[in-house]
A and B are shown apart, each in its own frame.
Chain A
């Protein structure tokens, strides 16, 4: 876990006047290191912040109809006045939070949100399935921020979790940016980077290929679902024909009716499989594509910072002044660049680990759902075999 010494230049000013533990002085950088390492514990034993998104509710007003979600926070951190909070937020509040985070933490990777716009008429924004899928994505979004050693201490995040009236806070326009935020904001886009350093170029290439492969997987998964649905349509016609046949027969009536019921059960199992894949698998896949897009834009911002630094450095060199010392503003640029590089590398490593866990879970989930489907079908078929054998023996 790489901790840059540049971190000591951070001064996060919080409403209560305090600073997050460990980031304010070099002396505490080792405890910061410990803290950061502990925060990455997957089992959460040493976690001190828990956030859950649940209980979606529909609000019908004169102007609009919308959904809010309950956000429950439990924390022992000093930044929180109370040990527990419960607030309600809607999608646009999450969107606001994300913009604020991007603004105030430009050197960090901000997790993606589920897509904002849905084509009306195609998707029912208030259907149970859509709301549940969105809730899961929003929950994931907040959990990713919670797990991040820097983002989780962001004061916008704190307000989002705790404020009774978020709109009032939004209107205040309090933009307490970190110094880094300020400085990066002022970097004009006029600088062009000549070459990306190897390690960042490698990250960029990786992300490009990764997004490509995920896109392909998304298309394949959609195609599979489409084929499965068409298969389901035929099955739904197939089963009842056995019933029709059964009505013609005497002794065979029962087994044939059994076959019809069996096919019906398999059809239901298949429908459950396609629903699960649509609701659980596809959205997570798409989220990761958005995630890698976010990372790519952070990489570009980093390039900007490096470009500015190199340009300024060159300008100094060209001035041919006999200055032994590098001017302060160039030094600042260098600091900025080094901090950015450090943050980005740290975030990338964290992202890689989480990605591995997330995909492990996602793909195992896909395998599990398919296994369950086949198990249900197997059970259905095995249950009628005794029925058929009985008829056999009766002869």
Chain B
């Protein structure tokens, strides 16, 4: 089967800007939302120069629509996750406001990663709706809805925990599903505790700011100690204000953890779809078998037992491309996890170095007292 490859040349995608907009929603009420600029460039093979070929604005809900479409049409593929719809796992100083500039910036990065991952997927990148998402600003929503994908969506997927008795569950998929469940659980826990840790750490740093003020007041009544106290107080202020940047950087780590969380969800969704498919197939096979049997009985007047197991082996014998797909995805995730662990630990290291510097400066001031 040949697919249309819309991309003749190598492309670069970037979500380069975010802009606040006001408009009217479906109920004709005024609303404020953020629009993101998507720029696509094609890269010349010869000199590596890129030329801007397309640029358009999209809002978060359109990204969601794209993803939902892909989920339905490619049930065996672990579709890359979107950045979170609402800010979750927030610690109290972090804004939960979707309009907050830091939140918007982190969302912009997440949306860019989403598009890049789709573009680098051998199957997903060839999808027409994806191509139109990047190239056709107007009317895109209507085009997607015309595919009728919502009707194709399996409503049973919404019942996440309903069990379907599959007679011959594929161990590889049940293992993956189990793994994704556990991963989701542990990462959610991690994110919750991390938010509390950030909160407490914030408190520790900020209280040190009070030293700044009192050292300054104290220095006013001292002769020889005055200068030392005053400058040490200044360092305490520096220390107290350094936590804002530190925690802002740390949010990127949290974002990456959230990505795994969503990937785990997506993985589970694939396993689930497989489970449902298998269930349907088993039901159909059973149905077929019993009808065949009836035919035979009618034809020959004999009753024969039919091996369902034999049937399913023929259908699900070797590893399907879907299974391979899912497994590759898990490996990729793990590689990414490793990289991101490294980045976050470098972050911790730099925080320690900053702490050492501030306290060493303060110590010097005290020694001059």
Contacts and interface: CB of A to CB of B under 8 A. Distances in A.
Contacts of A237: 193
Contact of A227 (B182, B207, B228): B207
Interface stretch (A9-17, A86-94, A193-201, A217-225): A217-225
Interface in B331-355: 334-335, 337-339, 341-342, 345-346, 348-349, 352-353, 355
Contacts of A363: 232, 362, 366, 369
A395 interface: yes
Nearest to B335: A395
Contact of A238 (B197, B214, B352): B197
A360 B189 CA distance: 45
A390 to B, nearest CB: 10
B363 A231 contact: no
Task: Sort chain A's interface into a size bin.
Answer: 35 or more
Contacts of B197: 231, 234-235, 238
A1 interface: no
Contacts of B221: 206, 209-210, 213
A216 B186 CA distance: 43
A227 B200 contact: yes
A391 B203 CA distance: 35
B190 A234 contact: no
B334 A220 contact: no
Contacts of B141: none
B208 A224 contact: yes
A309 B199 CA distance: 62
A248 to B, nearest CB: 5
A96 to B, nearest CB: 35
A231 B203 contact: yes
A24 interface: no
Interface string B137-178: 000000000000000000000000000000000000000000
Contacts of B355: 370, 373-374, 377
A280 interface: no
A213 B187 CA distance: 46
A71 to B, nearest CB: 32
Nearest to B369: A360
Contacts of B214: 213, 216-217, 220
Contacts of A251: 334, 338
B338 A391 contact: yes
A244 B193 CA distance: 14
B345 A381 contact: yes
A74 B178 CA distance: 74
A233 B232 CA distance: 29
Given A356-B224, A382-B349, A391-B338, A367 B362 contact: yes
A283 to B, nearest CB: 19
Give chain A's interface secondary structure class: helix
B204 to A, nearest CB: 5
Interface in A176-203: none
A388 B190 contact: no
B367 interface: yes
Contacts of B183: 245, 248
Interface of B is mostly: helix
B356 A367 contact: no
Interface in B12-60: none
Contacts of B224: 356
B290 interface: no
B341 A371 contact: no
Given A241-B186, A378-B356, A385-B342, A227 B362 contact: no
Nearest to B197: A234
A160 B282 CA distance: 96
Nearest to B362: A367
Interface in B210-261: 210-211, 214, 217-218, 221, 224-225, 228, 232
A374 B352 contact: yes
Nearest to A241: B190
Contacts of B366: 360, 363-364, 367
Contacts of A368: 359, 363
Nearest to A235: B197
Interface string A352-395: 00001001100110011011011101100110110011011001
A216 B207 CA distance: 12
B204 A371 contact: no
Contacts of A259: 341, 345
Contacts of B200: 227, 230-231, 233-234
Given A248-B182, A360-B225, A392-B339, 17 more contacts: A217-B218, A223-B210, A227-B204, A228-B204, A234-B196, A244-B189, A245-B183, A245-B187, A256-B341, A259-B345, A374-B352, A377-B352, A378-B352, A384-B345, A388-B338, A388-B345, A391-B338
19 contacts: A209-B221, A210-B218, A213-B218, A217-B211, A220-B211, A223-B207, A223-B210, A227-B200, A228-B204, A231-B201, A231-B204, A233-B200, A234-B193, A238-B197, A241-B189, A245-B190, A360-B366, A371-B360, A377-B352
Interface of A: 206, 209-210, 213, 216-217, 220, 223-224, 227-228, 230-231, 233-235, 237-238, 241-242, 244-245, 248-252, 255-256, 259, 262, 356, 359-360, 363-364, 367-368, 370-371, 373-375, 377-378, 381-382, 384-385, 388-389, 391-392, 395
